[in-house]
């Protein structure tokens, strides 16, 4: 579990003079479920294709275990891919699609049959052997693609937005199922998605990318609770991100109000980004806090209410999530516990427009 099975060292790729991956370094642990997460066009697919051997990096090294595999062609790598659009062979039925890799290895018919049966069972498609792939639903085609890739007994499975074309309910089912398959087989999954909820619910490790640069690597809990910069904070779930000034260790000012926080190590009066999760804001009577605003809208979201609050002097409205609804038009006070105030170095990009792509 602790050995690295894939390592990318200083990988750079440019297309038509545009830098797509910029000196990317990434270690993937054997047996882990690692997700590459980022807005569309940030270089996730390109990273996956480099691992799979379908794209050569301009510079940098790819390691499989301790072996450098830059020059190993795709068909000789001990990993398999579930492609974004499934890429099932239209001239072959389900059985033959799954058997494809084993036929090339010239395995015996009985061995192939046993493996195909096992794979069909794994993806719950027993009895579909003779079906043409064009007669299957999107979800079923996806399962065939997974079974086909796994039938080769890969050490690493690469999945490129495998659930992107499925509807919400099916996606959620497949998320659970993929996770189950991964833990049952104990192999490494490298999963690409732009859906942060999917990444949070499935992964052991999340790699957040933007513009070909890794923003943060960590467990879902780390990424969610301790985002390293405003981009990560904003991309992983909704956040309130405001300008602040660090007066001293554990002393931050934003919205013309001083707050106690737990962050240290910033320069005196350094300008920072302050990130506060909507669910971490506590609504209090307006007299009890210097941070006040007017509720502009209230929406019931099932478990909680989502409210937008207009804070004087702020460009964007604040988002609050709470189990208690407030009246629209009411002026409220807001407080935040010190440990829920996240202070970050200023992110120079524009995350609103970066995330727009996703």
Partner 1 sequence: MKKDSLIASPFMLWVLIFTIIPLGMVCWYAFTDASGAFTLANIETIGTYWVYLKDSLVMGAVATLLCLVLGYPVAYIMSRASWGAQQTMMMLLMLPQWMNFLLRTYSWMTILENNGLINTLLGKIGLGPFHMINTKGAIILGMVYNFLPYMILPIYSVMEKIHESLFEAARDLGANRFNTLLRVVMPLSLPGVITGITMVFVPSVSTFVISQMLGGGRNMLIGDVIERLFVGAAPNYNVGAALSLVLMVLILISMAIMKKFDDGEETGGLMM
Ligand X SMILES: Nc1ncnc2c1ncn2[C@@H]1O[C@H](COP(=O)(O)OP(=O)(O)O)[C@@H](O)[C@H]1O
Interacting residues toward Mg ion by CB under 5 A = 45
CA atoms within 13 A on the CB side of 337: 6
User: How many angstroms separate the CA atoms of 51 and 34, rounded?
Assistant: 13
User: How many angstroms separate the CA atoms of 167 and 160, rounded?
Assistant: 17
Q: Which two tokens stand for residue 308?
A: 């937008």
Q: Which two tokens stand for residue 135?
A: 């007669």
74 makes contact, choosing from partner 1, ligand X, Mg ion, none, with CB < 5 to 8 Å by partner type, with: partner 1
User: How many angstroms separate the CA atoms of 270 and 343, rounded?
Assistant: 11
Position 81 contacts ligand X (CB under 6 A)? no
Q: Select from 163, 133, 169, 137 the least CA-distant residue to 148.
A: 133
Site string for ligand X, 7-36 (x = CB under 6 A): --------xx---x----------------
Residue 56: CB minimum distance to partner 1, A: 14
Q: Which two tokens stand for residue 165?
A: 């074309």
Count of positions on this chain that bind partner 1 (CB under 8 A): 30
Nearer to ligand X, 83 or 100 (CB): 83
Span interacting with ligand X, options 37-45, 61-69, 91-99, 286-294, rule CB under 6 A? 37-45
Nearer to partner 1, 104 or 352 (CB): 104
User: How many angstroms separate the CA atoms of 177 and 194, rounded?
Assistant: 19
Residue 330: CB minimum distance to partner 1, A: 55
Residue 347: CB minimum distance to ligand X, A: 19
Helix, strand, coil share of the chain (percent; to 5): 30, 35, 35
Residue 150: CB minimum distance to partner 1, A: 11
Beta strands in the chain (DSSP E): 4-15, 18-29, 33-37, 59-64, 67-68, 79-82, 156-160, 188-193, 205-210, 213-218, 240-248, 251-254, 257-260, 270-276, 281-284, 292-300, 305-310, 318-322, 331-336, 342-345
Q: Select from 156, 7, 188 the least CA-distant residue to 77.
A: 156
Say if strands 257-260 and 342-345 run parallel, antiparallel, or are unpaired.
unpaired
75 makes contact, choosing from partner 1, Mg ion, ligand X, none, with CB < 5 to 8 Å by partner type, with: partner 1
Q: Which two tokens stand for residue 42?
A: 């940030």
Q: 79 - beta bridge partners? A: 156
Position 75 contacts partner 1 (CB under 8 A)? yes
Position 41 contacts ligand X (CB under 6 A)? yes
Residue 65: CB minimum distance to ligand X, A: 25
Position 142 contacts ligand X (CB under 6 A)? no
Nearer to ligand X, 31 or 43 (CB): 43
Span interacting with partner 1, options 69-77, 117-125, 246-254, 333-341, rule CB under 8 A? 69-77
Position 148 contacts partner 1 (CB under 8 A)? yes
Nearer to Mg ion, 316 or 357 (CB): 357
* Identified binder of partner 1 from the candidate list 31, 38, 39, 52, rule CB under 8 A: 52
Q: Which residues bind partner 1 (CB under 8 A)?
A: 52-54, 73-76, 80-81, 83, 85, 87-93, 95-96, 100-101, 103-105, 130, 132, 148-149, 152
Q: Which residues bind ligand X (CB under 6 A)?
A: 15-16, 20, 38, 40-46
């Amino acid at each position: 579990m602790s050995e690295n099975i894939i390592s990318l060292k200083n990988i750079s790729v440019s297309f038509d003079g545009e830098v797509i991956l910029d000196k990317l370094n990434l270690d993937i642990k054997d047996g882990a479920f690692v997700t590459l997460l980022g807005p569309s066009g940030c270089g996730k697919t390109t990273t996956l294709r480099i691992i799979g051997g379908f794209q050569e990096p301009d510079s940098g090294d790819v390691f499989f275990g301790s072996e450098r595999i830059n020059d190993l062609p795709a068909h000789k790598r001990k990993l398999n891919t579930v492609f974004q659009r499934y890429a099932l062979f239209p001239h072959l039925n389900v059985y033959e699609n799954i058997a494809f890799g084993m036929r090339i290895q010239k395995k015996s018919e009985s061995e192939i049959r046993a493996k195909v049966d096992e794979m069909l069972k794994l993806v719950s498609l027993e009895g579909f052997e003779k079906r043409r792939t064009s007669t299957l639903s999107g979800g079923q085609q996806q399962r065939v693609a997974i079974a086909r890739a796994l039938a080769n007994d890969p050490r690493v499975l690469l999945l490129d937005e495998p659930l992107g074309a499925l509807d919400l309910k099916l996606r959620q089912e497949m998320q659970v199922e993929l996770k189950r398959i991964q833990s049952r087989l104990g192999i490494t999954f490298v999963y690409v998605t732009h859906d942060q909820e999917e990444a949070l619910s499935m992964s052991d490790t999340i790699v957040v990318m933007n513009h070909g640069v890794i923003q943060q690597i960590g467990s879902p809990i780390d990424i969610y609770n301790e985002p390293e910069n405003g981009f990560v904070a904003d991309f992983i779930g909704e956040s309130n991100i405001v300008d602040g000034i660090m007066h001293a260790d554990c002393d931050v000012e934003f919205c013309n109000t001083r707050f106690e926080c737990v962050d240290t190590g910033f320069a005196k009066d350094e300008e920072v980004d302050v990130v506060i999760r909507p669910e971490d804001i506590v609504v209090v009577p307006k007299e009890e806090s210097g941070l006040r605003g007017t509720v502009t809208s209230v929406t019931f979201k099932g478990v909680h209410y989502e409210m937008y609050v207009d804070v004087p002097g702020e460009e964007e409205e604040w988002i609050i999530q709470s189990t208690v609804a407030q009246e629209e038009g009411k002026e409220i006070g807001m407080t935040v516990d010190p440990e829920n105030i996240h202070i970050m170095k200023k992110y120079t990009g524009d995350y609103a427009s970066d995330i727009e792509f996703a």
